[in-house]
Amino acid sequence: MIDTRTHRIHKQAVWLVATVALVWVACDAGGVSGDNRDTHCDDGTTPTCEMVPPTCQSYEILAHQNDCYVCVDPDTCEPWGGNHCTGDADCAEGQWCDPCGSSSCPMCADCVAACMPHNCPSDGPAVCYMERPECGEYGVAVVADGCWVCVDVQTCEPVRDDHCDDGTEPLCNMIPPVCAVDEILAHQNQCYVCVNPGTCQPWGEPGCAQDQDCGEADYCDPCASSSCPECDDCVAACAPHGCPTETDLLCFGIRPECGENGVAVIESGCWVCKDLQTCGEARDDQCDDGTEPICAMIPPVCLEDEILAHQNQCYVCVNPATCHPWGVPGCTVDADCAAVDACDPCGSSSCPGCEDCVPACLPHGCPTEPEAQCYMVRPDCEAGEVAVVQNACWVCVDEITCQ
């Protein structure tokens, strides 16, 4: 493993030498003029903000970013203190997200994530239909033969990308297959399978059906992948939405679907809908019934655990889990729910803090196609089973094993 603390100590020594040199130049030249400002952290914008350019510390440089001035770490081009990356995908091709690549101040001994060179050979820009993968704690993605591969960050030797594993160990009577260049080998359902690294499913199979299938930093992008590496069609997959979000959910509520141009993020411990393009406020329209309000009523201000819905040509504050006012059931049978959900008899409650049970549609967690194409009503399966769509029609599977 790379000794990142040794790297940081070396960086601190370099900073001390640079500081002494800067002071010597300033004394010798009578101060650094504006013409000699280091511009490598500028983003190309010209400051138009009503702000006097700040005087930066000796270990910082003044940068022009977002039409204003900011003092930044010259190595990361970000202000000192915060993490500058969350994964390798935030870094340039020749870099990786080093969890201890920086610190909260030049002489601090703590760790702050930053993009740093990884020193492993890479063939240049990837030309395959594949996003840069995350290769684990000690791995980094480089380009070989035109596509991304995972290598050990210290030895630069190839390693298996395990981000699509489901946690089971292969017990099947099968030789591990040799996957195509646009696939990775995954351990799933106690066996081996070659999958699209963008969806963790075989090429052509969707990686998600709704945002609830993705992590809080992602959303279900209907066109994030395709049915084959060279295909121009669309297959749904989880993709980063790019909006700021917290990680800890503290309120009682499932992740809402925020419409075609919206995405749910966590703010102050609870889900809120944001505009997918601007990350600004957006109304959650998942409970709308398709009618436009024409009633003589001012839109009400809903409580924190409610959303405003357009129903029956008017406005109503509803529980986002049931799309009905708190206490009113959201379903009576599974047929009232989408294919990815089942009618959970205790999916909600009569109020946000109540401990009673109110039925609501909740994700059942089993793989399913989004809609049935056969002439068959969704069946009520036996206890311990749930109905999913396979080969365009309904089948009952075990709710634990999904078999």
Q: Report residue 295: phi and psi, to 5°.
A: -75, 155
Query: What is the model's pLDDT at position 376?
Result: 92
Say whether 85 sits in a helix, a strand or coil.
Answer: coil
Contact 162, 108 (CB under 8 A): no
CA angle 397, 401, 403 (to 5 degrees): 40
* 135, 106: one domain: no
* 143, 89: one domain: no
pLDDT band at 3 (very low <50, low <70, confident <90, very high): low
- What ranges make up the beta strands (E) of 103-190? 112-117, 139-144, 147-152, 184-188
Alpha-carbon distance of 132 to 342, in angstroms, equals 35
Query: What is the model's pLDDT at position 219?
Result: 93
Q: Is residue 90 part of a domain?
A: yes
* 13, 112: one domain: yes
* 103, 148: one domain: no
Alpha-carbon distance of 180 to 130, in angstroms, equals 12
Give the type of residue at 252.
F
Q: Is residue 73 part of a domain?
A: yes
* 110, 153: one domain: no
* 112, 42: one domain: yes
* 86, 145: one domain: no
Residue 111 has pLDDT above 60, yes or no: yes
Count of domains in the chain? 2
pLDDT band at 25 (very low <50, low <70, confident <90, very high): very low
* 44, 140: one domain: no
Range of the domain at 148: 120-161
**26-35, 43-52, 71-80: the lowest-pLDDT one:** 26-35
Which residues are 144's β-sheet partners? 147
Q: Is residue 69 part of a domain?
A: yes
Answer with the residue of higher pLDDT: 26 or 172. 172
Contact 177, 185 (CB under 8 A): yes
Q: Is residue 67 part of a domain?
A: yes
